């Protein structure tokens, strides 16, 4: 007989891979944001490579633990078991906060992108339609969510692949440039490869690491995966390689074709690259991709944060009502709560600037404040893994998916994340997001100690 508190295992490896890709490849890449490139120039490629190494270590550590314990809300569960109940509490609430904020920002973004075709369409109407549609998709079943996310992510992936092919033709053959190959000189002219020095390189690293956030969602989907062990191995092995190829490949094409110091004049490098080779509908195509990318982000936000509420319900840190499932194995109240939260955030974003002077700046701070909470899962995965290794030595002898060079690889990744936080605080443009993120973590820690005095000492 099926347990009324157990989620259905209906996600396939195909869906899990695309969910992780969709959660990581976001709007920022397609918008051609030049913030990282302006700080460090073409050496931003090394930022993506170093962040990719951290990403690889985090995901292999997570995969090693998931193989033995494929649970929903996995990294929050591991944090409680291997570090401290407070760590699990902060991890779960950080994930809820992060994806609630991401969901709000993505819905707002979709409204702006739809204005490209329908300039008179009120943002609140498009936002309401989007939230209701995605809420229904998440309520139907986890399989419906996975299938929707698969197609959203596939559109983004195919766009990047086309960008890589066209970019290679422009660079090597001169396609769209009167058959005069552009070559690779833009990588070192215009001030050299490291234009911002070591400081600029580390400033850019914080934004790059933030862009990779979301890949750990595979740890949340593990509890709803078919044949979890082989699915987890296959998903994690392929996800990291694909993300690195897509991100580094796309950025390589951009900084090779366009002088890094003139990117702010280009607009979207994706639109410009497609236009250059004669695709006249480039702007409309990329705008469509941006809409699907934002929908994907909101869809993932509803799924991820609702599963964390479900996990918190199992631990009695929120009402047990959040653990009640529909006949299709969906935590209905959790999905509805997050969807309503995203809708309220979207409405406040629309009306507060008209009621309170300067309130738009508050929302910018709130959005950016999700970066630090978004790093919490990575920290707890790396630290939990160290304790996991000590407690499961016998089981690890026949383990087929171990992290190489542990614990040294764990320490390297932790050092990289700490260094990133230090330079985020030093950088005036990212300092506020660190401060607001710290305030959020301090508030939640206080709530934990007040409401859970029996858990202040780990059993």
Q: Is the pLDDT of residue 414 over 90?
A: yes
Does residue 119 belong to any structural domain of this protein? yes
Q: Is the pLDDT of residue 333 over 90?
A: yes
Does residue 24 belong to any structural domain of this protein? yes
Tally of domains within the chain: 1
pTM for the model stands at 0.87
Contact residues for 149 (Cβ-Cβ < 8 A; gap 6+): 15, 18, 19, 22, 296, 299, 300, 303
At 152, is the pLDDT very low, low, confident or very high (cuts 50, 70, 90)? confident
Residue 301's nearest CA partner among 244, 329, 341 is: 341
pLDDT at 141: 83
Q: Contacts for 316-319 with beta carbons within 8 Å, 24 or more apart?
A: 317/89, 317/92, 317/452
Q: Is the pLDDT of residue 275 over 80?
A: yes
The residue that leads in pLDDT, 207 or 258, is: 258
Q: What is the CATH number of the domain that holds 414?
A: 1.20.1740.10
- Cα separation, 334 vs 322, whole angstroms: 6
Between 28-32, 118-122, 135-139, 291-295, the lowest mean confidence (pLDDT) is in 28-32
Q: Contact 219/62 with Cβ under 8 angstroms?
A: yes
At 39, is the pLDDT very low, low, confident or very high (cuts 50, 70, 90)? confident
Q: Is the pLDDT of residue 55 over 70?
A: yes
Average the pLDDT over 265-288 and give the result. 81
Does residue 211 belong to any structural domain of this protein? yes
Does residue 3 belong to any structural domain of this protein? no
CA atoms within 13 A on the CB side of 361: 4
Does residue 5 belong to any structural domain of this protein? no
Give the DSSP per-residue string, 366-433. Answer: HHHTTHHHHHHHHHHHHHHHHHHHHHTHHHHTT-SSPPTTTTHHHHHHHHHHHHHHHHHHHSHHHHHH
pLDDT > 70 fraction of the chain, expressed in percent and rounded: 90
Mean pLDDT of the chain: 84
* Owning domain of residue 340: 13-455
The residue that leads in pLDDT, 16 or 338, is: 338
Contact residues for 428 (Cβ-Cβ < 8 A; gap 6+): none
pLDDT digits (tens, 9 = 90+) for 128-139: 899 999 999 899
Does residue 401 belong to any structural domain of this protein? yes
Does residue 425 belong to any structural domain of this protein? yes
Between 28-37, 328-337, 408-417, the lowest mean confidence (pLDDT) is in 28-37
Does residue 8 belong to any structural domain of this protein? no
Q: Contact 100/345 with Cβ under 8 angstroms?
A: yes
Distances (CA, A) of 368 to 98, 210, 211, 254: 10, 10, 12, 25
State yes or no: cis peptide before 407, omega within 30 of 0.
yes
């Amino acid at each position: 007989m099926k347990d009324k508190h157990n989620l259905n295992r209906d996600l396939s490896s195909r869906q899990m891979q695309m969910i992780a890709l969709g959660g990581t490849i976001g709007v920022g890449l397609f918008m051609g944001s030049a913030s990282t490139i302006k700080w460090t120039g073409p050496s931003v490629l090394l930022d993506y490579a170093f962040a990719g190494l951290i990403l690889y270590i985090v995901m292999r550590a997570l995969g090693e633990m998931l193989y033995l314990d494929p649970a929903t809300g996995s990294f929050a569960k591991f944090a409680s078991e291997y570090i401290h109940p407070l760590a699990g509490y902060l991890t779960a609430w950080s994930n809820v906060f992060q994806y609630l904020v991401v969901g709000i920002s993505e819905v707002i973004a979709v409204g702006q992108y739809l204005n490209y075709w329908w300039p008179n369409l009120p943002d609140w109407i498009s936002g309401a339609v989007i939230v209701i549609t995605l809420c229904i998709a998440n309520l139907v079943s986890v399989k419906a969510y996975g299938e929707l996310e698969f197609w959203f992510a596939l559109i983004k992936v195919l766009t990047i692949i086309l960008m890589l092919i066209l970019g290679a033709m422009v660079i090597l053959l001169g396609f769209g440039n009167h058959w005069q190959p552009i070559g690779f000189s833009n990588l070192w002219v215009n001030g050299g490869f490291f234009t911002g020095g070591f400081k600029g390189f580390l400033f850019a690293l914080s934004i790059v690491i933030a862009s990779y956030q979301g890949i750990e969602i595979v740890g949340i989907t593990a509890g709803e995966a078919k044949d979890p062990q082989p699915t987890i191995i296959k998903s994690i092995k392929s996800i990291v390689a694909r993300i690195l190829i897509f991100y580094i490949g796309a950025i390589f094409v951009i900084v090779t074709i366009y002088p890094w110091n003139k990117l702010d004049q280009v607009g979207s490098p994706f639109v410009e690259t497609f236009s250059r080779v004669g695709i006249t509908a480039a702007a409309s195509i990329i705008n469509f991709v941006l809409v699907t990318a934002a929908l994907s982000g909101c869809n993932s936000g509803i799924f991820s944060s609702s599963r964390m509420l479900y996990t918190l319900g199992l631990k009695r840190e929120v009402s047990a009502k959040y653990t009640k499932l529909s006949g299709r194995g969906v935590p209905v109240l959790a999905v509805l709560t997050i969807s309503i939260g995203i809708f309220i955030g979207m409405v406040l974003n629309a009306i507060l600037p008209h009621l309170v002077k300067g309130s738009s700046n508050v929302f910018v701070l709130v959005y950016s404040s999700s970066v630090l909470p978004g790093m919490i899962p990575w920290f707890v995965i790396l630290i939990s893994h160290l304790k996991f290794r000590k407690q499961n030595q016998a089981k690890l002898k026949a383990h087929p998916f171990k992290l190489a060079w542990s614990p040294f690889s764990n320490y390297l990744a932790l050092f990289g994340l700490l260094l990133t936080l230090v330079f985020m605080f030093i950088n005036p443009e990212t300092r506020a997001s660190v401060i607001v993120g710290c305030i959020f973590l301090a508030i939640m820690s206080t709530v934990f100690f007040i409401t859970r005095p029996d858990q202040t000492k780990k059993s």
